[in-house]
């Protein structure tokens, strides 16, 4: 019956594709019931319906149909013709322009579309080209009319409202030129001032059109939803105090509780409490490191199943690929499934998404496709874990992002940390409704660590470490620099009869994965800040460089983690070197040393008090300046971000926020290049390693960074046991 094709491989008619996108739209309406109220347009879903109905009508052009069947490019943009059908709708011009822009931008941003095809100026080749392509619609106009006659029935079926506010085209002369009618209007209005209501409506128009189209095109049009209460899935015989409080808290919240106290489960109970009656709200769980995300993804999948849990970070594709390979899939099967997974998780699909703070902040800068991700966040729930891990600039970006999401998109946020000093509370309290803390009387009874201050350098403490190893204890050593950790590991590894491992950020992924397997089984683990988060390890005794108190708390959390020992010794070496000052503020280190004097057995309540005293008037002058300048820059940038347009902030600018560059150690160059030539891209990712920007530029200046096969390589000493061998310090880069 239907001849006009929308796609090939597999073949799908235009009618079939329209039905698919409308089926996705019907689910969007269920998932996001508050969108019309949020935009201020009570009939907003009608407008999206029409944008989706018409979005591929331009493919009816005879030339496009011939090119599609021949597997060739047509040489024109079908969405330009599709948008012209809005002239047939009975709405005011503002609404018709909104719909037209949603159609016109469903592949390219308007700037890109305008660059090659604008008809705003008469007499140009683009104008004549438009007329020629427009005429190609005549051949299939009868079928277009038949498709439009279905609008009342299909609208009633998919959006629950029968629409008849349109006329049928008598000829192509009835269609409007989208550039003259809508694009010119938008560019002129944005330059003067686009009101916030229209800006949000255009953002969501493009966001939902892209999401519906992409999900329908992917072939899996049924979006999974949580069908059981979280409390029926995540079960405990008895709940801790913070879990009970979180399960009763409505609206945005700060939650403060020690490591190992069940904050993750508390956050899930908060999610349940703040869900809508149909349990459709999307949940975004934010963590600072990719290793944290990989671990939490597995944990959430165990709770809710794969269909409901997604993941977004720069290595998500590789992690998912490897998980499929580990389950017996062939490389080709794993590649296909992981690509599909990553693609779906850029859309409104998985109800739970675990991601880095950078992925969240990125959307505020208007990078390509940001409208899709912001549309997904409408009336959603955001959980930010380990907020103590961020520097002043990131805290500024994160706090302003959360403020924007709450004010403009109706998002509720839960911000969690084991340590939450006053300066952090002052930043985040205006965003939340209340604060939940672990009960002080309970915290005073939990003492897992005994502090031992040593007025020396950690490199001079190897005899003491050997003594604990000889006693059969599981020993953890944390250094502030990679070089120091490598040196201690060299000196001690042969003394650990139960095995020894070294871990830090300057390992290629292939070696890091090998190291992380069986960490709890080794007797000696030496590492850097990489140990502070993400790793589910439990040792008997800790030896550590001095660091700010909140960092020490994280390191201590990897010793006697579950409280199975009566008490665990923590040896803090208080002498530090110039390299340490490059990583941590010296004043914070000195305050930490001063506050730790006289402290021996330390309770979880003492930890909170220590953090408060060390950070009593922090951010300092320098950090406060960075924070304030970042907030002002964010606000100025936000005003310039336009939906449907190419924004000034590039992907390259965004990755500067990460603070690192991915390189491949030259020792792996041959293997890497071979995999790239064989198009085994996921296997090739295993050889990447992050370098802090400062370190990268120093090595580049020394001639140790070079490019091959569009990849950066690092010519420096490297082996799979010690990692990269340089004198550079490690900073807290995204791992």
Give DSSP secondary structure letters for 4-30.
Answer: -EEETTTTEEHHHHHHHHHHHHHHHHH
Residues 213 and 102 sit within 8 Å (Cβ to Cβ): no
Please state, in angstroms and rounded to a whole number, the distance separating the CA atoms of residues 15 and 1: 10
Greater pLDDT, 475 or 636: 475
pLDDT digits (tens, 9 = 90+) for 276-320: 888 899 999 999 877 788 889 889 999 999 889 988 876 767 767
What percent of the chain has pLDDT above 90? 59
Residue 208, H or E segment: helix 196-218
Angle at 339 between CA 512 and CA 344, to 5 degrees: 115
pLDDT of 348 reads: 81
pLDDT digits (tens, 9 = 90+) for 55-95: 999 999 999 999 999 989 999 999 999 999 999 999 999 99
Q: Which residues contact 32 (CB under 8 A, 6 or more apart)?
A: 280, 375, 378, 379
Please state, in angstroms and rounded to a whole number, the distance separating the CA atoms of residues 392 and 203: 29
pLDDT digits (tens, 9 = 90+) for 157-200: 999 999 999 999 999 999 999 999 999 999 988 766 778 889 99
Report the DSSP pairing between strands 447-454 and 568-573.
parallel
pLDDT band at 588 (very low <50, low <70, confident <90, very high): confident
pLDDT of 533 reads: 66
Residues 166 and 88 sit within 8 Å (Cβ to Cβ): yes
Residue 140, pLDDT above cutoff 80: yes
Three-state DSSP class for residue 509: helix
Lowest mean pLDDT among 201-215, 334-348, 566-580: 334-348
Q: Which residues contact 514 (CB under 8 A, 6 or more apart)?
A: 720
Residues 550 and 468 sit within 8 Å (Cβ to Cβ): no
Average pLDDT, the chain: 89
Residue 347, pLDDT above cutoff 50: yes
Please state, in angstroms and rounded to a whole number, the distance separating the CA atoms of residues 676 and 86: 46
Residue with tokens 């919240």: 253
Residues 523 and 474 sit within 8 Å (Cβ to Cβ): yes
Please state, in angstroms and rounded to a whole number, the distance separating the CA atoms of residues 686 and 720: 13
pLDDT of 730 reads: 40
Q: How many residues does the chain have?
A: 735
Report the DSSP pairing between strands 723-725 and 717-719.
antiparallel
Q: For 223-235, what is the mean pLDDT? A: 90
Please state, in angstroms and rounded to a whole number, the distance separating the CA atoms of residues 649 and 651: 7
Greater pLDDT, 562 or 129: 129
Residue with tokens 């970042």: 630
Q: Which residues contact 108 (CB under 8 A, 6 or more apart)?
A: 77, 79
> What are the b/e assignments for 536-556, b being 16+ CB within 10 Å?
ebbbbbbbbbbbbbbbbbbbb
Q: For 382-405, what is the mean pLDDT? A: 89
Residue with tokens 């989208």: 178
What tokens does 265 get? 């489960």
**What is each CA distance from 484 to 457, 478, 577, in whole angstroms?**
10, 9, 11
pLDDT of 728 reads: 45
Q: Name the nearest CA neighbour of 449 among 553, 370, 330.
A: 553
pLDDT band at 103 (very low <50, low <70, confident <90, very high): very high
Lowest mean pLDDT among 441-455, 561-575, 684-698: 684-698
pLDDT of 562 reads: 79
Determine the longest span between alpha carbons in the chain, in angstroms: 92
Burial tier of 237 (Cβ tally within 10 Å: 0-12, 13-18, 19+):
exposed
Residue with tokens 């090998």: 514
pLDDT digits (tens, 9 = 90+) for 413-466: 999 988 888 888 889 999 999 999 999 998 899 899 999 999 999 999 999 999
Q: Which residues contact 342 (CB under 8 A, 6 or more apart)?
A: 316, 317, 320
The pTM assigned to this predicted structure is 0.88
Q: Name the nearest CA neighbour of 451 among 610, 571, 609.
A: 571
Please state, in angstroms and rounded to a whole number, the distance separating the CA atoms of residues 389 and 547: 13
pLDDT digits (tens, 9 = 90+) for 661-689: 889 999 999 998 998 888 888 888 889 98
Please state, in angstroms and rounded to a whole number, the distance separating the CA atoms of residues 612 and 425: 11
What tokens does 4 get? 């006009």
Angle at 669 between CA 663 and CA 671, to 5 degrees: 120
Whether the upstream peptide bond of residue 520 has omega within 30° of 0, thus cis, is no
How many other CB atoms are found less than 10 A from the CB of residue 495?
A: 16
Give DSSP secondary structure letters for 537-597.
Answer: --BSEEEEE---HHHHHHHHTTBSTTS-SS-EEEEEE----HHHHHHS-HHHHHHHHHHHT
pLDDT digits (tens, 9 = 90+) for 646-659: 876 554 555 555 56
Residue 119, H or E segment: none
Q: Set out the domains of the chain in order of their start, with CATH numbers.
A: 5-218 (1.10.3210), 230-438 (3.40.50.300), 442-614 (3.40.50.300), 659-725 (no CATH)
pLDDT band at 219 (very low <50, low <70, confident <90, very high): confident
Q: For 524-548, what is the mean pLDDT? A: 88
pLDDT band at 691 (very low <50, low <70, confident <90, very high): confident
Three-state DSSP class for residue 647: coil
Residue 385, H or E segment: none
Beta bridge partners of 309: 352
Residue with tokens 């899935």: 233
Residue 727, pLDDT above cutoff 80: no
pLDDT of 731 reads: 41
Whether the upstream peptide bond of residue 10 has omega within 30° of 0, thus cis, is yes
Lowest mean pLDDT among 171-175, 184-188, 391-395, 701-705: 391-395
Please state, in angstroms and rounded to a whole number, the distance separating the CA atoms of residues 111 and 107: 12
Residues 496 and 475 sit within 8 Å (Cβ to Cβ): yes
Q: Name the nearest CA neighbour of 212 among 496, 22, 448.
A: 22
How many other CB atoms are found less than 10 A from the CB of residue 149?
A: 10
Strand extents, DSSP E, 642-710: 660-665, 689-692, 705-708
Q: For 548-574, what is the mean pLDDT? A: 90
Angle at 476 between CA 471 and CA 477, to 5 degrees: 115
Q: Name the nearest CA neighbour of 104 among 118, 91, 122, 121.
A: 118
pLDDT of 41 reads: 96
Q: Name the nearest CA neighbour of 504 among 478, 523, 524.
A: 478
Residue 342, pLDDT above cutoff 80: no
Three-state DSSP class for residue 453: strand
Q: Which residues contact 235 (CB under 8 A, 6 or more apart)?
A: none
Please state, in angstroms and rounded to a whole number, the distance separating the CA atoms of residues 136 and 156: 31
Q: Which residues contact 513 (CB under 8 A, 6 or more apart)?
A: 322, 686
Q: How many Cα atoms within 13 Å fall on the side-chain side of residue 193?
A: 2
Q: Name the nearest CA neighbour of 509 among 322, 649, 254.
A: 322
Please state, in angstroms and rounded to a whole number, the distance separating the CA atoms of residues 598 and 360: 42
Beta bridge partners of 689: 663
């Amino acid at each position: 019956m239907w001849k006009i094709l929308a796609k090939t491989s597999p073949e799908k008619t235009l009618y079939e594709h329209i039905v698919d996108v409308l089926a996705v739209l019907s689910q969007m309406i269920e998932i996001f019931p508050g969108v019309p109220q949020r935009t201020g347009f009570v009939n907003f879903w009608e407008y999206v319906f029409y944008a989706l109905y018409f979005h591929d009508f331009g493919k009816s052009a005879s030339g496009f149909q011939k090119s599609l069947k021949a597997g060739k490019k047509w040489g024109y943009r079908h969405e330009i013709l599709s948008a012209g059908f809005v002239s047939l709708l009975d709405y005011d011009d503002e609404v018709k322009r909104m719909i037209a822009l949603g159609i016109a931008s469903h592949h390219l941003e308007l700037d890109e579309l305008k660059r090659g095809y604008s008809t705003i100026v008469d007499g140009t080749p683009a104008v004549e080209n438009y007329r020629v392509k427009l005429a190609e619609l005549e051949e299939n106009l009868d079928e277009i009319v038949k498709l439009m006659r279905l609008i009342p029935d299909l609208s009633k079926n998919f959006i629950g409202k029968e629409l008849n506010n349109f006329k049928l085209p008598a000829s192509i002369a009835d269609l409007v030129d989208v550039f003259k009618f809508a694009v010119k209007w938008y560019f002129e209005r944005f330059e003067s001032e686009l009101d916030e209501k229209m800006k949000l409506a255009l953002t969501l128009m493009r966001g939902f059109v892209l999401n519906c189209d992409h999900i329908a095109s992917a072939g899996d049009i049924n979006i999974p939803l949580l069908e059981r209460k979280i409390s029926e899935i995540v079960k405990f015989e008895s709940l801790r105090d913070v879990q009970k409080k979180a399960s009763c808290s409505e609206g945005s919240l700060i939650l403060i509780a020690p490591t190992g106290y069940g904050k993750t489960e508390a956050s899930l109970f908060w999610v349940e409490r703040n869900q809508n009656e149909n349990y459709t709200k999307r949940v975004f769980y934010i963590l600072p490191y990719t290793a944290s995300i990989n671990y939490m993804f597995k944990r959430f999948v165990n709770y809710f199943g794969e269909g409901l849990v997604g993941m977004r970070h720069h290595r998500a594709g590789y992690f998912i690929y490897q998980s499929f390979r580990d389950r017996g899939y062939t490389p080709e099967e794993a590649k296909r499934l992981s690509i599909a997974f990553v693609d779906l998780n850029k859309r409104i699909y998985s109800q739970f998404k675990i991601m880095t703070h950078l992925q969240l902040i990125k959307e505020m800068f208007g990078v390509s496709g940001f409208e899709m991700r912001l549309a997904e966040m409408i009336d959603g729930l955001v959980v930010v874990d380990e907020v103590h891990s961020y520097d002043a600039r990131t805290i500024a970006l994160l706090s302003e992002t959360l403020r924007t999401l709450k004010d403009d998109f109706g998002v509720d946020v839960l911000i969690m940390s084991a340590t939450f000093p006053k300066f952090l509370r002052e930043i985040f309290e205006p965003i939340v409704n209340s604060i939940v803390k672990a009960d002080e009387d309970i915290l005073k009874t939990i003492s897992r660590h005994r502090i031992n201050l040593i007025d020396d350098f950690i490199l001079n403490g190897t005899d003491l470490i050997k003594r604990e190893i000889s006693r059969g204890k599981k020993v953890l050593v944390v250094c502030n620099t990679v070089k120091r950790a490598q040196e201690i590991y060299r000196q001690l590894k042969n003394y650990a009869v139960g095995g020894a491992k070294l871990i830090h950020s300057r390992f290629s992924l292939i070696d890091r994965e090998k190291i992380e397997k069986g960490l709890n089984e080794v007797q000696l683990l030496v590492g850097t800040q990489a140990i502070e988060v993400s790793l589910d390890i439990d040792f008997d005794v800790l030896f550590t460089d001095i660091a700010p108190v909140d960092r020490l708390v994280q390191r201590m959390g990897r010793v006697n983690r579950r409280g199975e020992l009566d008490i665990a010794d923590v040896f803090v070496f208080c002498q530090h070197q110039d390299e340490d000052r490059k990583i941590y503020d010296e004043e914070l280190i000195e305050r930490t040393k001063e506050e730790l004097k006289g402290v021996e057995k330390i309770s979880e309540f003492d930890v909170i008090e220590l953090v408060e005293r060390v950070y009593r008037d922090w951010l300092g002058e320098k950090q406060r300046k960075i924070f304030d300048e970042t907030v002002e820059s964010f606000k100025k940038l936000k005003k310039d971000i336009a939906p449907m347009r190419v924004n000034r902030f590039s992907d390259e600018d965004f990755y500067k926020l990460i603070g690192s560059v991915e390189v491949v150690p030259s020792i792996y160059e041959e293997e890497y290049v071979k995999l790239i030539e064989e198009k085994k891209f996921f296997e090739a990712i295993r050889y990447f390693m992050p370098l802090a920007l400062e370190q990268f530029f120093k090595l580049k200046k020394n001639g140790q960074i070079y490019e091959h096969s569009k990849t950066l390589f690092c010519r420096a000493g490297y082996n799979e046991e010690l990692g990269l061998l340089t004198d550079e310090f490690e900073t807290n880069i995204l791992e």
